[in-house]
Structure 1
Amino acid sequence: MPGTEAGGSQVKSAVRTVELLEFFAERPGMHTLAAVQTAVGYPKSSLYMLLRTLADLGWVETDATGTRYGIGVRALLVGTSYIDGDEAVAAAKPALDHLLADTTETVHLARLDGTDVVHLAVRQSPHHLRPVARVGRRLPAHSTALGKALLATHSDEQVRAILPETLEQLTEHTRTDRAQLLEELRLVREQGYALDREENTLGLRCYGLAVPCRTPARDAISCSVPVARLTPEHEQTVKHALFDARDRLMYATRTL
């Protein structure tokens, strides 16, 4: 771990604090000190002191025994502050509302963050059969329509640099061969939209479009449809509605 020397070096305690918060954010629930120590590799004594400090400040919570730790409410406040202060998210609200009304399916606005996409806004389908969706959910870019739509706005060289050598397989349909994924991204660039064919969740097909307000694009919108409800006619409705929502979004964010 880098030390605290001058000249732009990272401060060890700050780095460890961020890494701890990211550990809890990626693993919901409560964890023992031993489990956290095994995952992050810090000395147990300094880890304990850091956890107690974060708990006192509200960034980490403990259970009734004081021996298990999880993410605290202050992390939620920071997360919602990011969403509330993002101009692109605010500008997207009318377009997402129209997209939900036009398709009656769950719709998302997401942003590329490293190898993943993070949901910034969600509109839930009114149907009983619908996917689990929540703001802040993080999913691998290579297995989602949102992610593939955004990756397609990068060059092949940039995609190779973004994605890991080994792509995680979430379902039997997930594309894990990077060369095949690059071929699919070329098709996405031609047709203007990306598909997730049950690659992230079995029984669910998703359609995604990048919002090219910048190059490469940072945000994308998607519509998720249970395969049981998907017909050729409904698929065309979803595609047309997505392109309309994309155009609305580009107009709304033209000055951002």
Structure 2
Amino acid sequence: MAEPVPHVKSALRTVELLDFFAQYPGQHSLTDLQGKLGYPKSSLHALLRTLVDLGWIETDATGTLYRIGMRALLVGATYIDGDPLVQIAHDALDWLAETTGETVHLARLDHFDMVYLATRASRHYLRPFSRVGRRLPASTTSLGKAILATREDAEVRALLPAELPGLTRHTIVDHDKLIADLHRVRKRGYAVDREENTEGLRCFGVVLHIADPPRDAISCSVPVPRLTAEREKDIVACLLEARERIERSAVRQRRAY
């Protein structure tokens, strides 16, 4: 067995710093960053200045507060633009949004978070809406639960953090209750987020069987006042149809190569 390659400390700290800014948007002082990351202040300051010069980090007018920079956006956009599944799912997501009239998402599991790769806004939603690049805990979303339900219980438990995050009063924060919910997802064939990350919004999600193990899912979000039992059946039927379209397109693309 090959021995693990040792990490380069400066590279590791750079990535950890950028990950911190991605997880905690907004401006942070040097003291705040040093307290959160634990790096020596002099080393952290030198790293920040280097990243500011390269455009990965930006400062405020005083030069004392730091936030993620424009270059991170450019690299993130390149990831989205170059991702094969985003391209494959494009037409099916358009169809799903048009048919349901609701907001739809495509997202990918990354460790224990769902990262949003594509969004189509509801025709009823009047304000600008974009979730691309946003991260949410897998346990709080129908997207994440649809993917977690494809794993064995022991594997899911190994993925779970010691404390499940609670985003609303409806979020499942008990490990056993989450596992029980995943059992229902497997039996039902789709996942439901019952206002677990946004009050007043119920979301339905289905896994995409493209990667092995599956890591992608699509969802449709519906405001609770507009939701009926019949509406739920229609939404789920459309999600299953969209999934079939995406999976067929993925198979055709693989055969083409």
Q: TM-score, normalised on structure 1? A: 0.94
1:1-256 alignment to 2 at 5 Å? 8-128=5-125, 132-254=129-251, 255-256=253-254
Cα drift, residue 130 of structure 1:
7.8
AA matched with 1:121: A
Partner of 1:3 in structure 2? none
Give the whole-Å Cα distance in 1 for the aligned partners of 2:115 and 2:197. Answer: 14
Q: Deviations over 1:97-141 (max 9, x none)?
A: 010011000000000001110100000111137895410110010
Distance 1:238 1:245, change over 3 A: same
Could you say what the CA RMSD is over the residues aligned between the two structures, in angstroms?
1.5
What is the total number of aligned residue pairs between the two structures?
A: 251
Give the Cα separation in 2 of the matches to 1:131 and 1:241.
24
- One-letter code of the match for 1:128? Y
Which consecutive residues of structure 2, in runs of 5 or more, have no partner in the other structure? Answer: none
Q: CA deviation at 1:230?
A: 1.1
Distance 2:128 2:228 in 1: 17
Question: What is the letter of the counterpart of residue 20 of structure 2?
Answer: F
Q: CA deviation at 1:214?
A: 3.0
- Measured in 2, the distance between the counterparts of 1:64 and 1:139 equals 31
* Paired residues of 1:99 and 1:241 also in contact (CA < 8 A): yes
Q: Which runs of 4+ in 1 moved over 4 A?
A: 129-132
1:177-202 CA distance string (max 9 Å, x none): 11111111111112110000011111
With over 3 angstroms needed to count, the CA separation of the structure-2 counterparts of 1:240 and 1:129, relative to structure 1, is farther
**Could you tell me the TM-score, scaled by structure 2's length?**
0.94
Name structure 1 gaps, 5 residues minimum.
Answer: 1-5
Deviation at 1:7?
6.0
CA–CA distance in 2 between the matches of 1:205 and 1:130? 19
Of residues 191-200 and 228-237 in structure 1, the stretch that sits farther from structure 2 once superposed is: 228-237
